[in-house]
Amino acid sequence: MTVQIYNCETVTIRSEMIQRTKSDGIFYGLRLHMNTDQAITFWATSQDGLGQMVSSLIQTLQQTPNEHIALPGQMSLQR
């Protein structure tokens, strides 16, 4: 699945921390709500794991584009 979100004046994103208890444990999530009635949720088995995932996303966003950045619809292979 490919999700494309464009930053424009008509899109508002609101974040929310959530927690779910399942039969195999507690899961923590960061849900990004959009005013387009869509949401993306990142899940981890611990709050620390969720924080590491968010840190990784931040590092990716701060990188200078290079040959490791994938085109839309492709996965990037880091070496």
Summarize pLDDT for 16-73 with one digit per residue, the tens: 999 999 999 999 999 988 887 788 899 999 999 999 988 988 888 787 766 666 666 6
Task: Report the pLDDT value the prediction gives residue 14, as an integer from 0 to 100.
Answer: 86
Task: Report the pLDDT value the prediction gives residue 75, as an integer from 0 to 100.
Answer: 56
Domain boundaries, the chain: 13-60
Task: Report the pLDDT value the prediction gives residue 72, as an integer from 0 to 100.
Answer: 64
Task: Report the pLDDT value the prediction gives residue 79, as an integer from 0 to 100.
Answer: 47
Residues 44 and 27: their CA atoms lie apart, in Å, by 6
Question: 8 and 26 in contact (C-beta within 8 Å)?
Answer: no
Residues 5 and 11: their CA atoms lie apart, in Å, by 9
- Among 9-13, 26-30, 58-62, 75-79, name the most confident range: 26-30
Strands 13-22 and 38-44: unpaired
What is the Cα Rg of the chain in Å? Answer: 15
Report helix, strand or coil for 36: coil
